[in-house]
Amino acid sequence: MAKYPQNSTLKDGQIAGLYDLQETLGCGHFAVVKVARHVFTGERVAVKVIDKTKLDEISRAHLFKEVRCMKLVQHPNVVRLYEVIDTQTKLYLVQELGDGGDMYEYIMNHEQGLSEDKARHYFQQIVLAIDYCHKLHIVHRDLKLENVIFFKSLDVAKLTDFGFSNKFSPGQKLDTSCGSLAYSAPEVLLGDSYEAPAVGKFFFVIIDLRLIFGFKSCVSISSCCSTLH
C-alpha cells in the first residue's frame, strides 16, 4: 500500500500526481467512485475514494477486509485492484474500469430476457468468480446485479465491490447479516447463522431467472423463496 503526504495527494483533481480524476460513477455514505486517467499511460480506471474521517470502527474494519480480500482475489471474472494509495484523510482504491455498465442496467435494457446461450455465457462467468472466491475461503456477502460489471469490449462480466467480504474457515458459520435484502438468502433474512458458500447459491437462482426471463417475467423473488422452502 503506497503512502503519500496529504499535500501531494489531491491537488487540482489529481491523486499523488499519478491519476487525473474525472466524472463520478457513484457515491455512498463515505465513498465516491470516479473515473480517472493515468497521467503517463492514459489508461482509464475506476477509483474508489474513501473519506477516512467519516469512518467509524466498524466501517474501518470492513474497509480493511475489503482491501485484504481484493488483493487476494486474482481472477479473470473479478474486477482487478491495481493499487491502493493511502493518505492522511483519504484512501484510494484504483481498479479496472468496465465499459458496459452493471448487470442491473444490462437486464433493464433486455426486459424480455436474453437467449439461453447468452444467459449461460454470463452466468458461467459469475459462478466461476464466486467459486474461486470460496476456494480462497472468501465470501462476498453483497452479491447483487449492481455488483456485476460488464466489460463490453471483452464480452466479459466481472464481480466487484468487496465491501462486505470476509474470510471464513470451512465448516464455520457466520452471524453478521449484511448486503442487500432483495438478494439475501432466507437464513440471512431470518437472522440465523449461515454457511458462507451456501448463501451464494440463492443469488445464483435469482440471477439465472433474471437473465433468462428479464424483469417483466411473472417469476418473482418471493416465488424463489417458496421454491427453496
Q: Catalytic residue among 20, 99, 131, 142, which?
A: 142
Torsion of CA 110, 203, 135, 195, to 10 degrees: 180
| Whether residue 142 lies in the annotated active site | yes
Question: What whole-number distance in Å separates Cα of residue 138 and Cα of residue 164?
Answer: 11
Do 59 and 125 share a domain, yes or no?
Answer: no
Q: Point out the least confidently predicted range of 11-20, 26-35, 129-138.
A: 11-20
The dihedrals phi and psi of 41, each to the nearest 5 degrees, come to: -95, -20
- Tell me: pLDDT of 39 over 90: yes
Do 108 and 137 share a domain, yes or no?
Answer: yes
Residue range 202-226, pLDDT digits in tens: 777 777 777 777 755 434 444 444 4
- Tell me: pLDDT of 90 over 80: yes
Question: What whole-number distance in Å separates Cα of residue 50 and Cα of residue 59?
Answer: 11
Do 117 and 84 share a domain, yes or no?
Answer: no
What is the residue range of 113's domain? 103-228
The C-alpha cell of 40 is what? 503517463
Helices 196-213 and 221-228: angle between axes, nearest 10 degrees: 130
- Tell me: pLDDT of 12 over 50: no
Mean pLDDT, rounded, of the chain: 83
Q: Where are the alpha helices (DSSP H) in 20-115?
A: 57-72, 103-108
Do 7 and 114 share a domain, yes or no?
Answer: no
Residue range 173-204, pLDDT digits in tens: 888 877 777 777 778 878 888 887 887 777 77
Question: What whole-number distance in Å separates Cα of residue 144 and Cα of residue 118?
Answer: 19
Question: What whole-number distance in Å separates Cα of residue 30 and Cα of residue 16?
Answer: 20
Name the DSSP letter for residue 78: B
CATH number at residue 164: 1.10.510.10
β partners of residue 44? 37
Residue range 146-164, pLDDT digits in tens: 999 999 999 999 999 998 8
Do 88 and 150 share a domain, yes or no?
Answer: no
The tally of domains found in the chain comes to 2
